Amino acid sequence: MPGRHFLFVPGPTNVPDRILRAMHRAMEDHRSSAFPALTRGILADLPRVFRTERGQPFVFPATGTGMWEAALANTLSPGDRVLAPRYGQFSHLFIDCAQRLGLRVDVLETEWGEGAPIERIEQALRDDTAHEIKGVLVVHNETATGVTSDIGAVRRAMNAARHPAMLYVDGVSSIASLDFRMDEWGVDLAITGSQKGFMLPAGLGILCASPRALAAYDRARCARVFFDFGDMRKANATGYFPYTPALTLLYGLRESLDMMFEEGLDAVVARHHRLAEGCRAAVRAWGLTLCARAPEWYSDTVSAVVVPDGIDAAQVIDVAFRRYDLSLGAGLNKVAGRVFRIGHLGDLNELMLLGALSGVEMAMRDVGIDIALGSGVGAAAEHFRRTAAPLAERGAAPRSPDTSTPAPAERAPVPRAAAAR
């Protein structure tokens, strides 16, 4: 089919041409004396994205699922007890990972479409007077349902209960897109991956560990080999990795960080919110609802749209793909067939999203959903028009640098041969 495919799943996301060019390079020696310039610059700059001054980042050739395992295995021992609310497919899988590692998981069953149950978390921790619970596992942005939980409120609940458990946060579809404050929220293990807000192909698992999490490593007894923090810390200290790294993805990550810092991290968050609000305006104009049950839980990276009774959401997805070359996310597990998901994160602007919404409208009409063509697109367009920056601010002048976070760490220059695009 001519033209570009419209990729609007909630990950993997669109890879910008600039990052594709950065990754398009011949292989090189990852043991050379030039290689540490790349590694050290990335590891010095990653904490800015997590908004931490104390956390240590790790980059593995893996995905977010691997980072679940790395976070748990490096800080806990078989038989340790953890607390985890289950309110979507990815919180379900996080729990499954913990159980397979031999941890005891106290599961707080929660309605899919709601966020982490703050009061129940606090009560469960208050009830644990012996402090047997070693960690609380929370998915920040539950991609399956389009729900974002309040991690700051989770930390406040933990503090109110005066409980010493560590806080493990899956930020795979939030970090580098939504507001994330590792230090302020007292997050001990922050988990993400390359294929969403970082605008890269899948293949890098990225994790940031607090000093308390790093201290827990010494007493943790879960088996670990590939994901061992000790091996990684020792090699990273010299600018290398303990095994072959995903070289081209590291060059892409370097470019991704540069792009985010140029836009400004606060601006990245604001852009995602504005795009999400336009998508939500479209859903309202269609007369449909979101899986997220209240505005406090609306996600700014993905909208899970509930289809009318008698309609199979999988049909909307299939028609959009086969007829209009538009990829939408499927409903998972409990919401399979009930929702389709529109991903609106990463390398994205207003016109790209409007194009996707027009394809969604046509696909819905094709499967018998009674909506007026152009209704959602018009509502989103009106939102974008009303909230656009004044023309004077959108001229040719370069954007001012982001002053919300410290300047990028000074990096040694990458040798000319290694830096060629």
Domain residue limits, the chain: 6-10+265-389, 17-262
- pLDDT at res. 417: 35
**Predicted local distance difference test score (pLDDT) of residue 394:** 62
- Residue 378: CB atoms within 10 A of its CB come to 16
The reply to whether the predicted model has a pTM over 0.85 is yes
- Residues 136, 106: Cα–Cα separation, whole Å: 10
CATH fourth-level superfamily of 6-10+265-389: Aspartate Aminotransferase, domain 1 (3.90.1150.10)
pLDDT of residue 396: 47
Task: Please give the chain's pLDDT, 421 residues, in tens.
Answer: 789 999 999 999 999 999 999 999 999 999 999 999 999 999 999 999 999 999 999 999 999 999 999 999 999 999 999 999 999 999 999 999 999 999 999 999 999 999 999 999 999 999 999 999 999 999 999 999 999 999 999 999 999 999 999 999 999 999 999 999 999 999 999 999 999 999 999 999 999 999 999 999 999 999 999 999 999 999 999 999 999 999 999 999 999 999 999 999 999 999 999 999 999 999 999 999 999 999 999 999 999 999 999 999 999 999 999 999 999 999 999 999 999 999 999 999 999 999 999 999 999 999 999 999 999 999 999 999 999 988 877 654 444 444 444 444 444 444 333 333 3
Residue 406, pLDDT score: 46
The pLDDT value given to residue 291: 98
pLDDT at 395: 54
| CATH code 2.160.10.10 for 17-262 | no
